[in-house]
Structure 1
């Protein structure tokens, strides 16, 4: 479905051709993309701690998708191949590099397990 939408938008171009092109049809250099990205972030007015990279957006998108699936109660292991395919990875190892246990994911996980198993653990740590 995505491939069809892109084809409708840009025509039947070679998938190896650059997606973003200069006015002469060439691909942008990495440094030019970094400069443009920093300008967009600066102009956005979004408060950012530290240095943000384009790659961080991919990581955040993957983590947000995992968090949303978790909140929906779906089996995350079953969804990993879908996420890997969406991200263009050939295997799950590449996708796992993006997935780290974050505070945003840890809090709902702990709340769910506390609700299920909190009665087993008392203040002394022994049942």
Structure 2
């Protein structure tokens, strides 16, 4: 979710056959609004997913349906994603806001969008011209959904960017040169 900007439900529904680690992409099929898309993966993400694949195959065999499975080999539930996210957040000793919105798995999608917009701004690219690529990549039906990320709170994103600075290479380039 962090490295590809996919929705939590898309990660949970990702079938093993739609993860192509050899060619370095995942296929998100018939997601929100019945839209599909192919997303490139960075080398670092491929390594992480390959390790995940190996462990899952070792424990549950090659016949599992979804790529990500729970500890008993079945599709991961939305509640499980939230529980694991909170466990990792706390084990990493990351601070939680004392009031307002608490961190949640979906924030990875927000960070992905904002990080690409921020990167384009730093590179002097025309963000408005790049938004259609980001919109398509993220599976948005309209640009209005993508424009939302321009208004994402810089305060939160600045703090979160510091936390994830070391994993910046996990974000694939969105767009075409």
TM-score range, shorter chain: 0.5 to 0.7
Specify the structure having the higher radius of gyration (Cα): 1
In the superposition, the TM-score normalised over structure 2's length comes to 0.46
**1:62-116, Cα deviation, whole Å (9 max, x unpaired):** 1121111111111011110111122222321222233315446xxxxxxxxxxxx
- Which residue of structure 2 lines up, in the alignment, with residue 125 of structure 1? none
Q: Residues of 2 paired with 1:31 and 1:73: CA distance?
A: 40
Say whether 1:39 aligns with 2:87.
Answer: yes
Q: Residues of 2 paired with 1:92 and 1:24: CA distance?
A: 40
What residue ranges of structure 1 are gaps of 5+ in the alignment?
Answer: 105-127
Which structure has more RCO (C-alpha within 8 Å, separation ≥ 6)? Answer: 2
Matches within 5 A, 1:1-127: 6-8=19-21, 18-23=66-71, 25-50=73-98, 51-100=102-151, 102-103=153-154
CA pair 76-34 structure 1, distance change in 2 beyond 3 A: same
> Is the Cα contact below 8 Å between 1:59 and 1:99 reproduced in 2?
no
What residue ranges of structure 2 are gaps of 5+ in the alignment?
Answer: 5-18, 30-64, 156-177
Q: Residues of 2 paired with 1:83 and 1:47: CA distance?
A: 30
* Structure holding more helix per residue: 1
CA pair 102-26 structure 1, distance change in 2 beyond 3 A: same
**1:34-74, Cα deviation, whole Å (9 max, x unpaired):** 11110011111222325101111211221121111111111
Q: Residues of 1 paired with 2:105 and 2:133: CA distance?
A: 22
* Structure holding more strand per residue: 2
Moved >6 Å (runs of 4+): none
Q: Residues of 2 paired with 1:65 and 1:49: CA distance?
A: 25
Q: Residues of 2 paired with 1:77 and 1:43: CA distance?
A: 38
Matched residue pairs, number? 98
In the superposition, the TM-score normalised over structure 1's length comes to 0.61
Q: Classify the secondary structure of the residue corresponding to 1:36.
A: helix
